[in-house]
Amino acid sequence: MSQLGDLQARMAEITRRLNSDGAGKTTQVIQDALAAAGLTPPSMSAGTKQKLAPQNFVSDLLGKLGLGGAATTPQADTQAPDLNGGKFVAGSYANTAGSRRYKVYVPSGYDGEAMPLVVMLHGCTQDPDDFARGTQMNALAEEQGFLVVYPAQEASDNSSKCWNWFKAMDQQRDQGEPSLIAGITNEVIDQYGLDRKQVFVAGLSAGGAMAIIMGSTYPDLYQAVGVHSGLPYASASDLTSALSAMRGASGTSLSSSRRGGASAKLQAIPVIVFHGDRDATVSPSNGTGLIDDFVARFEQTAASEEKISTVVEEGKTETGHRYSRTSLHVDGRPVLAEHWLIHGAGHAWAGGSARGSYTDANGPDASREMLRFFSTQRADSESLQD
């Protein structure tokens, strides 16, 4: 049996034990499985800042899959001024799927006009405050004039505060976590009178995987998606397939099945993707899979007679990493999709601040580039379906 096949068989056994014994009694099994497959703990790349408490690789892996880690006590809802000049306002939303807290950044220049909205979905172990510090999205909201909402995953719903991107119920419209995130989005839009033609969603890692789920299942609500170090829509359905998807082990075959299945039938919502080519947590092949899915969806629409042209640019920020940017175009339309492969970068938000976790200050500036891309995508622009 190959190393991968052996690992998958062991992970199936882990799934069975988790159901019967819990995560605590399966640690040694996981250690043996990873050792047998030659999967060693990933090293941090130069310039990557991770301010999380040290963890062993097994615990970290379980955490990323939502199966381990210590629960934290939710902070009380407060309304407090933000260092950027606006206000960071806490709220909560509930429906039949449960409830979630969130925080909204309202820039100091807001006076009731219909501003755009960016929905930011944090990664595992993070929270709205940490994610806001790391991505610096609040400072950009102050500079450019838009609101930002950060839904918060609860430790009671995932012990490591990961969005449950790998669960079938949480991959569907009007169910589970997508219904809660969409509910938060609509609540904030209505409360602040925001522009429904300019609503966007972005996320990191598990949050990136959930962002593409939101764009895929609510294309009438979000005009574009930003995915950083995330995974394609419905790329996993349980622990075993989640591990395979994260490692990129199933890459082409999974992507092909998605193109021929449900994903190809979904709307081709504009997407901008960032991924480090040394990401040892979520394989860079997932970034390519996101673009492959976009192309497959586009080809299934009425616009399929139009040909997508691809432009590849090589670049380097003044103090940052080198990168390869692939842009997808159709004549007469804005750029439909972008894929930024960042050379030498690991599992971290590019251009982020060391004040937050999972950030890499060495650029390019993912937050600013996402906003540039979003600014070209509006609900009153020509639809990809036309």
Q: Which residues contact 207 (CB under 8 A, 6 or more apart)?
A: 120, 121, 122, 123, 126, 131, 163, 230
CA–CA gap between residue 117 and residue 252 (Å, rounded):
35
CA angle 302, 295, 258 (to 5 degrees): 105
DSSP-assigned states of every residue in 240-285: HHHHHHHHTSSHHHHHHHHHTSTGGGS----EEEEEETT-SSS-TH
Tell how many helices (H) and how many strands (E) occur in the chain: 11, 14
Instruction: Give the residue numbers annotated as catalytic, written as ranges.
Output: 205
29-33: long-range contacts, CB 8 A cutoff, minimum separation 24: 30/58, 30/61, 30/62, 31/58, 33/6, 33/7
DSSP labels, 33-53: HHHHTT-PPPPPPTTEE--SP
Among 302, 309, 294, 305, CA closest to 386: 302
Distance from C-alpha of 304 to C-alpha of 291, rounded to nearest angstrom: 16
Supply 173's token pair: 């419209």
For residues 322 and 36, what is the distance between their CA atoms, to the nearest angstrom? 34
Q: Which residue has the tokens 């504009």?
A: 270
C-alpha 212/C-alpha 177 separation (Å) is 13
For residues 48 and 51, give the distance between their C-alpha atoms in angstroms, rounded to a whole number: 10
Distance of alpha carbon 245 from alpha carbon 285, whole angstroms: 9
H-only helix segments in the chain: 3-21, 27-36, 57-64, 128-135, 137-144, 176-192, 206-217, 239-247, 251-259, 285-299, 366-375
Cβ atoms 137, 118 nearer than 8 A:
yes
Q: Burial, 87: exposed, middle or buried (Cβ in 10 Å; 0-12, 13-18, 19+)?
A: middle
